[in-house]
Each structure stands twice: as C-alpha cells, then as structure tokens.
Amino acid sequence: MTGYPLLDWAIIGVSLFNTIVLLWLGLIVLLNADRRNGGVILMGGGLLLGGTFFVTHTAILGQSLTLNNDGLNFWWQFGWIPVTAAPYIWYVVILWFSGFWSRPRPRLFNRHRPWLMLTTVVGAGLLVWMLVANPIPNFESIITLDTAKTPNLYGVPLVFIIAPPLMVICIGLSIDVLLHPAPAEQVAVAIGRQRARPWLLGTSGLLLAVSLLVCAFVLWVFSKAEFGGLFGIRTDAIGWFDLALSLLIAVGNLSLGQAIVAHEVFTGRILPRQRLNRQWRIVLLIALILAAIVSWSLLLQLRPIYGLLLTVVLMVGLIAVYSWRTFEQHEALIRALRPFVSSHQTFAHALRPRADGASRAQELLDATCTDVLNSQRALLVPLGPFAALAGDALASPISPATAALSPPPELRDGPVLLAPDAYPGYQWAIPLWAERGLIGGLLLGPKLDGGLYSQEEIDIAQASGERIIDMLVSETMTERLLKLQRKRTATNRVIDLATRRTLHDEVLPALHHAILQISALPDSGDALASLTSAHQQISNLIRIALVTLDDERRVGLVDALRALVDQEFGAAFERIDWRITERALQPLDSLTLDVVLNAVREFVRNAALHARDGKSGAPLHLAIEIQSTDALYIIIRDDGVGIDREQAAEPSGHNGLALHRTLLNIVGGECYVEPCAEGGTQVTIVLPWQYLPDPE
C-alpha cells in the first residue's frame, strides 16, 4: 500500500464498493430477465466479469508488495483477463441494445460490421494468447521493468501494446453506436432506449476516460525505465492514480445501474419495477457502509474474528433497516388501496343515492388516478359483454370531451403505448379482463411528476379497472332490479286495489242479492244465476292477476316457446315462421328457462305493439330461429317499420328491454337489438353453454 492511511482506506473502500455493485447488477440482470437471450446473458456475464476484476484488485491491495509473492503474481496476471474482455463485451452489448441484429438490417449493421469483426478477431486472439502462453510479466518484472522474459517491443510487453488500445477502440465504438442507433420496431422500445441512452452514454464516456488513462499510465511507467522503473515513481502518485480510476468506474457503475434499474433496458421488460429501484438504493447503502467499515478494519489489522463479528453486526442491522422500509412501503400501499379492499356498500348506495349523483365507481377511479398512480388523467372504457351494463366511459377528472375515445385494437396483446397524435393527453392503454374475455380498457395519461409508470403500477391499474367495471355492472344491475321491484310492488298494489274494488262493488252485492233471494221463496233459480255470475267474475279476476309457468317448466325450451308465442300472440301476426336446429340442444335449468321465456315474451310483445307503427291493418310477419352450436342462439325477426341503430344501441323508454337484458346477463347470456337491412328489427339472444348452470 502507499503508507498513507486515508488514501489506502479510500482505495480499498472504493474497490469493495465496485465489487458489491457490479456483482449485484450482474446477478439482477441474469435472474430478473424476462427472456434470457444472448444479449441478456452477455450483459450479465460482463457485469460479473467486472466484479471479478475488482475482486482481484481488492485481493492485490490486500497482498504485501514484496518480491517472489506467488499470490500477488496470480492475482496480477489473472486480473488482466477481465480487463481485456470487459470493453469488448460492453461494445457487443451496446450493439445488441441499439438494434444491430434487427431485421431488416439497419444502417448500423453495415456501419459497424467491419469493426465488430476486427475487434472480435483481435480480442479473441489476445484472450487465447493470455490463457495459453501467459504473456503477462509477473509483478516482480513490472516493478523492475525487466520484460526480457516476455514478448516485447522496445522493452514494452506486447500485451500492453495491444490490450489498452483495444479497450479505447471498443469503448469509442460503443459511444458511436449509442449516438447512431437503429430505428426501433416498437414505440415502447424506442422510448426506453431514448430514456436510457444518456445514462449509457455517461457510462461509456467514463469508461473511455479510464481506458485513456490506462494507456497514458502504461506509457508513463515505461518511460521511467531509465530512472529505475516503478522505483522512480512515488507510491502515493500510483495510489492517487488508482483511486482516480476506481472512482471513475464507480461513477460509471452508478450510471449503468440507473439505466438497468430505472428503465430495465437489459432485462427484456418494457416497464421498470418500483421494488427493483428500492432494492438498488438499499444495495448502494449497504455497499457504501460495508466498504467503508470493512476497509478501515483491514487497515487497522484487526484480528479476523473481530472483522467477522463487525461484518455480521452490520449485515444484521442493514437487513433490519431493509425489512422496516419494506414494511413501511407495504403499509403505504395498503393505505392507498384501502378504498378497493373495503366494503363498497353497493346496495346501500343504490337505496340511498348521494345528493351530488356521484357513483362509487367514479370515486374509486378518482382515487386510483390521484392517490395510487399519481396520473394526470384516466379514462375507463367498458367493452365486450359488459358494455351495455357498465354504461358510458368514466373519466378522471370528469371530462365529457374524452368520452368518445376508444382503446386501440391491439389491446388484447397487453398494455399498449399510445401514439400522442391519436390519443392526445394519454400514454398507456391497459386491457381489462374477466372470465368472458376483454371487458374494458383503461387509458392513462402522463404522471404528475413526469416519471415512468412501473410494472407494479400497471398491474394495480389493471386490477383496479377490472374491479371498477365489476362495480359499474353491479350498480347498474342493482338499480335496474330495484326499479323492477318498485314497479312490481306498484303493480301488485294496483291489482290488489282492483281486486278489492271488484269484490266490494260487484261480487259482494251480487252474493248479497243471492242470499236475499235464497232466504225468500223456495224458488232458487235467480240465486243460482247470481252465484254463477259471481263465480265467473272471481275466476276471470284470478286468471288475469296470476300467471304461472308451471306448464312451460314441464316441457322443453322449444315446446315452451311454441306454446307461449302461439297462445299469446298467435292472432297478432299474419304468419309466424319457425326454424329450429335442435342439434346438441341442452336442457336449461328452471331459472334460465324463466328468464328466456320472459325475454322472448317481451320482445315478441314489442313487435306486436310497435312494429306496425300505428297502422293496425298493415300485414306483419314474425320469424323465430333457434340454433344450438357453441351456444344457444334465439333470433327473433319481424318485417315491421324497424328502428335506427342509435335506438338499437340505447333504446330509450324501453325499461322492459333493459330489464330483460340485465336478467340475461345475470344467467350468463347476452342480448343484441339491431335493425334489419331489408326492414324490420332483429333481436338475438345468446346463451354460451359454458356459463349456464346445470339443470336441477
């Protein structure tokens, strides 16, 4: 060592710091890669190779600088292997990162193909030479500058003439690659390269400075040959030079770590992860504290047991701090997600709506956008089978101007980075899924702090969006069912009042008159007639007020539909055409059968009442088609006046249609209303077999 305690402490501490950081980064790249292709393996291996160099560097610093030291000679000669290979690996990794091997071949390929071939031949030949012939002089020869036993040129070993310039060339070429990358095929990849390029340029610039300083140091050392070699150079000057190189590499490692952790450019992932960024900060803290204290304990030449105990105590303390911070972050996340894990009280909100009209789903979207994601704006667009139930899109903050936006078609493949011109104010589109497939899309705007969304935030946004759509569906279904219940309650009251009025005003007087007649003369003819009339009135009232489906439940779906349409609406149409394909027709449970029959009754009744548009004498035909393939299809088509597509999408004033559409969704089905091209209206009921319950 140099004999200066503070300088020696700094040299060993920075070397240990670089060792910890490079080894951790190498393992993180290899273990956390989404796809371990050649570039990922080469990058992780290069980082581990850099960490191996600093292992040898620290081992050399821990050796006594004496002649005929076998351990010192081993580490000295072994250390030149990672020094020679690391710059070449860095050059190849940057080529891979910048799209050198993409198809079709970019201009970058033709620009750097000769240089890649040249550096590969020279680098591979140099490494083979080092491993086979060992052309590196031992440490004693370096101190005395006695290079006669090794291949040299004018007293300078050939390995020192080839290796440092090769380092400069590889690092310089990597800078040129970063300044002229190939066009990216995906927008997300292009943005990731753009954000990570400053950090990679900073790392390459620092490595270039290190390579130039190594070349200058080699020239300076061998220029002192006539003055006694290294004996003519002060040890503190060599120590300061070594510290400068280590500090430059440490800053380069920090820049490279920021590119790997904050943008995950070498792990194959589009989005970074927050927990990796937090672990990076913890590792830097651990490396800094361990390097400082362990290097100081080495300089004090403490007994090994004391150094071991000190390291154990430090590791326990740092692990405790890391666990504490992890727990605090977990608690913060739970507080942010508390609106989603608490009771939504859907029925309470439906029974007692808020005065301002805001729904619970809107509150959750606002909480997700503001408190969890820190996003400027968000737009939730229901799609697929839940679109009719969930209603219009939700925006946070509320903005009717953006309600017309729809997610891109490629949403089924995963999160999509949006084009700014097509989706102004939005960056990401996230698919929302359920058992029935794609149910919606969540559009996210930029973050308020201008940062990137992490993978955890995208996952939270996806789960939150799916939960919000479920809540929208629940709110809509609850509201419609409550309206149905209120309507039925009102209907029952009317029927009850009508029953009481009929019994009070007509039936009871008739019975009273019959009693008077019976109590008079023995002739009971009039009494029997009065009683017969009262009996007929009561029978008619019961038949009108009470309708059951017991007969339909005892027969199949097709027979029940035929009986229902023919008995109730046979006279409403000039002709009813049936087309039935009963292949693989499965029986339905009683609940589903009731829902289907009531839905068909509602749709046929609408056709009978509204298809003529007030022209009672106009001919009207009805066609009913039943198909059974991958699902049960019931198609009801009339040739009346029809409806336009806007009314078909949102039929205003048709509470019965909305009710039966809701009930069909409850049992796993769907309903579509659309105008026919040749005139009339078509209603399609779809019941997928896999979502229907087994019949009892």
CA-CA distance, 432 to 382, in Å (whole number)? 9
pLDDT, tens digit, 9 for 90 and up, residues 239-250? 888 899 999 999
Rounded CA-CA distance 83/49 in Å is: 9
At 149-161, the pLDDT tens digits run 788 887 788 888 8
Query: Around 23, how many Cα atoms within 13 Å sit in the side-chain half-sphere?
Result: 13
- In contact, 248 and 209? CB cutoff 8 Å: yes
From CA 460, how far away is CA 133, in angstroms rounded? 58
Task: Please tell me the number of Cα atoms within 13 Å of 218 on its side-chain side.
Answer: 16
Alpha-carbon distance of 474 to 244, in angstroms, equals: 65
- pLDDT above 70: residue 379: yes
DSSP state of 452: P
Long-range contacts at 392-400 (CB < 8 A, ≥ 24 apart): 394/361, 394/362, 394/365, 394/468, 394/472, 396/362, 396/365, 396/366, 396/368, 396/369, 396/370, 397/366, 398/362
Encode 233-258: b = buried (16+ Cβ within 10 Å), e = exposed.
eeeeeebbbbbebbbbbbebbbbbbb
Please report, for residues 237, 275, 356, 377, 419, the alpha-carbon distance to residue 188 in angstroms, rounded to integers and kept in the order given: 48, 21, 40, 20, 10
Task: Give the SS3 label for residue 626.
Answer: strand
**Phi and psi dihedrals of 355, rounded to 5?**
-70, -35
- DSSP letter, residue 427: -
Measured distance CA(235)–CA(4) in Å, rounded: 9
Task: Please compute the mean of the pLDDT values over residues 660-680 and round it to a whole number.
Answer: 82
- The residue whose two tokens read 């900073």 is 202
pLDDT score recorded for residue 648: 56
Residue that wins the pLDDT comparison between 391 and 27:
27
DSSP code of residue 332 = H
> Residues 453-500: pLDDT tens digits?
877 788 888 888 888 888 888 777 777 776 776 677 667 666 765 676
**Average pLDDT of span 640-661:** 67
Within 379-437, where are the H helices?
A: 387-390
Q: Do the strands 670-675 and 378-382 form a parallel or antiparallel pair, or are they unpaired?
A: unpaired
pTM for this one? 0.62
Q: Which amino acid is at 613?
A: D
Say which range, 123-127, 188-192, 378-382, has the weakest mean pLDDT.
Answer: 188-192
Are the CB atoms for 268 and 40 separated by under 8 Å?
yes
- In DSSP notation, 176-240 reads HHHHSPPPPSSHHHHHHHHHHHHHHHHHHHHHHHHHHHHHHHHHHHHHTGGGTGGGGS-HHHHHH
CB-based contact 376:445 (threshold 8 Å): yes
- Residue 484 to residue 531: CA distance in whole angstroms: 38
Rounded Cα gap, residues 51 and 28, in angstroms:
13
Q: Per mean pLDDT, which range of 104-118, 203-217, 512-526 is the poorest?
A: 512-526
pLDDT digits (tens, 9 = 90+) for 231-286: 556 677 788 888 999 999 999 999 999 888 876 667 666 566 667 777 888 889 88
3-state secondary structure 465-480: HHHHHHHHHHHHHHHH
Res 413 pLDDT > 60: yes
**Calpha distance 47→274 (Å, rounded):** 22
pLDDT at 548 (0 to 100)? 42
Lowest mean pLDDT among 87-101, 254-268, 286-300, 623-637: 254-268
Q: Helix, strand or coil for residue 414?
A: coil
Which element (helix H / strand E) includes 566? Answer: helix 557-569
Read off the pLDDT of residues 323-346 as tens digits, 9 standing for 90 and up: 887 777 777 766 666 665 554 454
Lowest-pLDDT choice from 128-142, 151-165, 196-210, 519-533 = 519-533
Using pLDDT thresholds of 50, 70 and 90, give the confidence band for residue 190: confident
77 vs 543, residue with greater confidence: 77
**Tens digits of per-residue pLDDT, 544-572?**
444 444 444 445 788 888 888 888 888 88
Q: Is the peptide bond before 104 cis (omega within 30 degrees of 0)?
A: yes
Structure tokens at 567: 């008995």
Res. 664: pLDDT tops 60? yes
Decide: helix, strand or coil at residue 10.
Answer: helix
**pLDDT in the model for residue 546:** 42
Place of tokens 């990058």: 43
Q: What is the mean pLDDT of the chain?
A: 79
- 338 Cβ neighbours under 8 A, 6+ residues apart: none
